């Protein structure tokens, strides 16, 4: 049975430094038998300013960060979900990027791309924190589920977690594993992270690999961490609360199939009329 890994980081403002840390953590995961690994959102850069991501944006298929992901996937014979990286938007004159989640196979080939659809434009309840991702990020407009040797893998990012219709749409496309790179705030993570992840696993009867940023960053921001691996019954298989590191668990396809056969929630749905 394959081993899956959630990679947790505390990324800073140096792309080179972040890539070096990611390489070390991926090597540790591979040494422990991982065949599918997920990096967190913004793994290559948590800039001092939101506009810093625009300065390091890449064109799809070319660039330092994409080369790194391809090389790591090939070196460690890993299927690798590359967190999110800033890619150029469709408008060459735009000062915004796409927050792209790229999937590489174990030969280092990019086989899927998902652009974060739901953008974090909020005032965090009970705090002075305010975020406006749409100022520097252009949203994606489609959901992505890809074939892997381990099952059908759905890609989603951070704030997407709050929109269950996205995950049900991916379940309708055959999703069996969900990869969720994230950088939840400390406040929202403490309130909602675990309960939302377990709910998405339970209602869609899928494995969840949630890889977070977890610590205090050089820009002063604090992220929640608590990277989790969850089974289709909603049980937590492994977790990492804080700081850089890895969480590991085994993916048991027979268990997933048993859950769906014995407790067929996905086939019991009733489409009522309004």
Active site residues: 41, 116, 158
In terms of Cα–Cα distance, which of 148, 26, 5, 22 is closest to 75? 26
What are the CA-CA distances from residue 155 to residues 4, 91, 274 (Å)? 15, 24, 30
Question: What is the C-alpha separation between 31 and 215, in angstroms, rounded?
Answer: 25
Using CA of residue 218, residue 222, residue 227, residue 230, what is the dihedral sign? Answer: negative
CA dist 205 and 20 (Å) reads 35
Task: List alpha helices for 77-223, DSSP H.
Answer: 164-172, 186-188, 194-204
The number of angstroms, rounded, from the C-alpha of 166 to the middle of its chain's C-alpha atoms is 14
Pairing, β 151-155 against β 79-81 = unpaired
């Amino acid at each position: 049975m394959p081993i899956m890994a959630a990679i947790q980081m505390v990324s800073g403002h140096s792309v080179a430094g972040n890539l070096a840390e990611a390489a070390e953590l991926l090597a540790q995961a591979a040494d422990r038998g991982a065949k599918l690994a997920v990096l967190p959102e913004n793994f290559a850069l948590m800039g001092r300013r939101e506009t810093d991501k625009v300065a390091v944006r890449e064109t799809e298929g070319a660039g330092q960060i994409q080369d790194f992901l391809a090389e790591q996937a090939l070196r460690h014979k890993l299927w690798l979900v590359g967190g999110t990286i800033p890619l150029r938007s469709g408008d060459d004159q735009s000062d915004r990027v796409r927050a792209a989640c790229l999937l590489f196979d174990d030969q280092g080939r990019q086989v899927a791309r998902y652009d974060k659809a739901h953008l974090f434009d909020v005032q965090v309840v009970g705090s002075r924190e305010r975020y406006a991702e749409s100022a520097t990020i252009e949203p994606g407009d489609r959901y992505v589920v890809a074939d892997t040797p381990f099952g059908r893998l759905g890609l989603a990012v951070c704030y997407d977690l709050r929109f269950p219709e996205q995950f049900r749409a991916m379940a309708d496309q055959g999703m069996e594993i969900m990869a969720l790179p994230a950088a939840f705030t400390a406040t929202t993570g403490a309130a909602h992270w675990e309960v939302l992840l377990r709910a998405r696993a339970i209602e869609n009867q899928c494995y969840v690999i949630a890889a977070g940023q977890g610590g205090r960053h050089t820009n002063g921001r604090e992220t929640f961490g608590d990277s989790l691996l969850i089974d289709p019954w909603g049980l937590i298989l492994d977790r990492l609360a804080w700081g850089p590191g890895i969480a590991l668990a085994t993916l048991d396809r027979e268990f997933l199939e048993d859950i769906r056969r014995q407790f067929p929630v996905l086939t019991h749905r009733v489409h009522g009329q309004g």
